[in-house]
Structure 1
Amino acid sequence: MNLIIREAKIIDSKSPYNNQVVDIEIADGIIKKIGVKLKNTDKVEEVKLDNLHVSQGWFDSSVSLGEPGFEDRETILHGLNVAGRSGFTGIALQPNSSPIIDNQSQVNFVKNRANNLATELFPIGALTKNNEGKDLAELFDMKNAGAVAFGDYNKNLDNANLLKIALQYVQDFDGLVIAYSQDSNIKGNGVANEGIVSTRLGLKGIPALAEELQIARNLFILEYTGGKLHIPTISTAKSVQLIKEAKAKGLQVTCSVAVHHLVLTDEKLDGFDTRFKVTPPLRTEADRKALIKGVKDGTIDMITSDHNPMDIEHKKMEFDLAKNGTIGLESAFGALMTVLPIEIIVEKLTSGRDVFSIENESIEENKKANITLFSTEENWTFEKSDILSKSKNSAFIGTKMKGKVYGICNKGKLNIYK
């Protein structure tokens, strides 16, 4: 693939061309030249789009796809194409398939299913066998097969000693442990954030304490063991403060926040719409503002769509019985543009590669062309017709958006969607 991207504003704090409007010449997947009004002597394809911006390719640290086992929700092939159309050149795949990704053969299976696609797939291996929280999975074998981290998706590890052992064990091969933090006993049968809204609606509440207590426990264990710990999708103001204090101590801890926790609050539950039933639950406006502040001051390392497709049979039912989860790839950028500056959005959508020890090159000459193309100007409303995923359980239908994704350029492939 040889082409020239015309008049693109580069948003990349690591690039010497940051905030400059330039042409980018790409040949065989490598950035050959960056400059103004580059000559097209070989008559290669040119890309010229309105209000064109480019950045390093975006990376989503938490995506569920379903395959194997739940192909009716999403397949790997279709899901990666959706991710590409949403601006992501790489995703970390959660292990919550059937069978669970808890061994080397399952890691190899999902990697092989993703071969030769513009969006790369990086498997997360289950931390415990079958995600049951009893025995550690084959962590070293999965690491050798290509797993970038280990965690049980949206499942708290009640056994503190098992987390201690895991953090000690993975240090031998520089592994990363993911610890979803929500105390299952305090959560109980809760389905929504404990507060004014849940009380008014008569929904069983999940106290913020359920998350914060578990984060505090996991950070104490990390301080004892050393190693690297990632806490995904935090949702409360106190969680932000706990992680900020841990980082000040020098602990190797990172965290993420989901797009829906930065944009939506538990006020959305008034209609008992199960599209808004997620885990951790949507919190208060005060929590949302604290999360935004945590993103801006660097406490929160990255933003994820936490894309979790669900079939209609498990989603369109009574609120108490419905499964947790929302899809989020297609709406991630447009939603974030309504609450954060573009420079921070790009930083938080690319920094996950560093956390997961994945190659993360800036936009410079002689570097790999791993690029997302987008516009920052358009105002629009996300509707059901904008959903590209097989599942339609989006919490963002009817939400005002800003900016549009044009596509991606990665692995010698150009996927542009006008």
Structure 2
Amino acid sequence: MTTAPSIDAVFDLDALLSSEELEWQQKARAFAQDRLLPVIEEDFEAKHFRREFVKELGDLGFLGMHLQGYGCAGAGAVSYGLVCLELEAADSGWRTFVSVQGSLAMSAIHKYGSEEQKQQWLPGMAAGDLIGCFALTEPQGGSDPAGMTTTARRDGDGWVLDGAKRWIGLASLADVAVVWAKVDDPEFGGGDGGRAVRGFLVPTSTPGFTATPIDGKLSMRASVQCDISLDGVRVDGDAILPGAKGLSGPFGCLNEARYGIVWGAMGAARSCLEAAIERSVDREVFGKPIGANQLIQAKLADMFLEVEKGILLALHLGRLKERGTLTPAQISVGKLNSVREALAIAHEARAILAGDGITNAWPVMRHAANLESVRTYEGTDEIHQLILGRELTGLNAF
């Protein structure tokens, strides 16, 4: 049997990384290979999320790892991106978990919460003892948060929340939900007939809060996404996030999650490429490995180019983020490119694997299915195209 060279040996990305960044990457790669890969096909088939892995991820420092203090690792943006890449090389669902926990729920509390809120929730979430979710998307308007219908009204010294959310990761497992709702109290940003979007920390044990896992998914099957019903959910007055006023609050968290996707999608793409290379070396047709054919080598070369370009783009964005100069439009460049190219690579790899490519003997169809979800959440291709179009023309086409 011929052994294919490692794609890492063809393009020396390690030379661009610090020893600390490489250490984070290797730690994530080891977890993915030792814990996730042996069970992920079974879990995908069974629609099973392994709750016991959450604590392990916390022990490794991956949860909220880019945040400072409160038990968080305080790692750099590139280190966090590399962890996302390695986890998604195993399965998009596990990178999604780390994103929901750290980039969405924990970031919301860290960015906008009071000191009391940070102390109450962040250490347990960083350790994997507590799970959070981020309840923004609604059934009728995933790409239009300004049109949300969930409301929060003052009731004495507290708040009452009513409404519905959809496609909320981890909600049925979570201990706390960051719920975004519109308020019409002038003291809290409303008034003049308008309503401002504010964030609330809602313990999921609160009466009236119901999270129902969404069934029938053909993607992200080893992950959990839910419908949420908020029926007269009453929380204390101090449940509001004091630092988040308007849509800049949830968008600030979404950009954190989008950044992780830029790296993560390239992990799925790398996994598909590696499968295609392995199969092209092992499978013989007409008396020779299919990888000895020019057409196959051309396909592999093109796939490899896109993986390496995508990782280099992610690295560039990571360095900008560490300097504090990364813009939302630049994140849109990364999210749009990484997911679009990862899907194209997954489809090309499936073709190279021929009939065997549709089976779970190879990870390619699972990655392709998962990437359809990644393509949709945190902004569809079209949303990011419009963000970039506005940046290029100065004209708003939304």
TM-score over 0.5 for the pair: no
Structure 1 length normalisation: TM-score?
Answer: 0.23
Bigger relative CO (Cα 8 Å, ≥ 6 apart): 1
Normalised to the residue count of structure 2, the TM-score between the two structures is 0.24
Name whichever structure is richer in strand by fraction. Answer: 1
Instruction: Identify the structure with the greater helix proportion.
Output: 2
